[in-house]
Amino acid sequence: MKQIRDKTFVPFIESESLQNRIKELAQEVNKDYAGKNPLLIGVLNGSFMFVADLFKSIDIECEVTFIRVSSYQSTESTGKVKQVLGLKEDIKDRHIIIVEDIVDTGMTMQEILGQLASNQPASIKIMTMLFKPEALKVPLKLDYVGFEIPNKFVLGYGLDYDGYGRNTDTIYVLKES
């Protein structure tokens, strides 16, 4: 069990399962993007651990960068998605893979997609480590999904509760009271 502020979390996805799945996702990228020099765009903060582990298992020519968007406070979405910040690279005619830790309502990803698509990339695909199908509020095609999970608040391996709890190699879920 793990206590973060006022909430208790229990183990949900162990490190070994996570790492095995990440290696499989990297193999898919190696196969799908050979010779295409893709640009991985990680969405900060949550994706930083996932991107780091994924990137180490990608062995084709490939670049990585990060953008920032913040929409969550506490354990519920505020529904307000801010602007995408920090993209310095020219993505025109590039093959883009957006890498997220989690797609929950999908609002963040919808906003990112819209803003990146307006820069005329050659292609855009989405990779997310976790996906909550029951929480999705907007139509989204997710190209690479690590794990589909129930609509429960999760923590760890980059995911936070009010900024805390990101620093674990296991993913935890909020304990039912």
Ligand X SMILES: O=P(O)(O)OC[C@H]1O[C@H](OP(=O)(O)OP(=O)(O)O)[C@H](O)[C@@H]1O
Known catalytic residues? 104
154 binds, among ligand X, ligand HPA, none (CB under 5 to 8 A by kind): ligand HPA
- Enter the tokens of residue 77: 């979405």
Q: Which of 26, 91, 97, 102 binds ligand X (CB under 6 A)?
A: 102
**In sequence order, what are the residues at sequence separation of 6 or more whose Cβ sits closer than 8 angstroms to the Cβ of residue 119?**
90, 91, 92
In the region spanning residues 105 to 134, those forming contacts with ligand X, defined by CB under 6 A, are 105-109
Contacts of 6 (CB under 8 A, 6+ apart): none
Residue 72 binds to ligand HPA (criterion: CB under 6 A): yes
Sheet containing strand 7-13, edge to edge, reads: 2-4, 7-13, 171-174, 154-155
Binding to ligand HPA (CB under 6 A) within 15-54 occurs at none
Site string for ligand HPA, 82-121 (x = CB under 6 A): --------------------x-x-----------------
CA distance 71 to 21: 27
* Rounded least distance, CB 94 to ligand X, Å: 21
Instruction: Compute the C-alpha angle 137/139/145, nearest 5°.
Output: 95
Both tokens of residue 122? 């050659």
Segment interacting with ligand X (CB under 6 A) among 20-28, 52-60, 70-78, 85-93: 70-78
Binds 84: which of ligand HPA, ligand X, none (CB < 5-8 Å by kind): none
Our CB check for ligand X shows the closer of 33 and 131 to be 131
154 contact partners, CB below 8 Å, separation of at least 6: 12, 102, 130, 171, 172, 173, 174
* Interaction between residue 17 and ligand X (CB under 6 A): no
Which tokens hold the place of 20?
A: 């095995």
With contacts defined by CB under 6 A, how many residues of the chain interact with ligand HPA? 8
Residues that bind ligand HPA (CB under 6 A): 72, 102, 104, 153-155, 159-160
Residues that bind ligand X (CB under 6 A): 43, 45-46, 70-72, 77, 100-109, 160
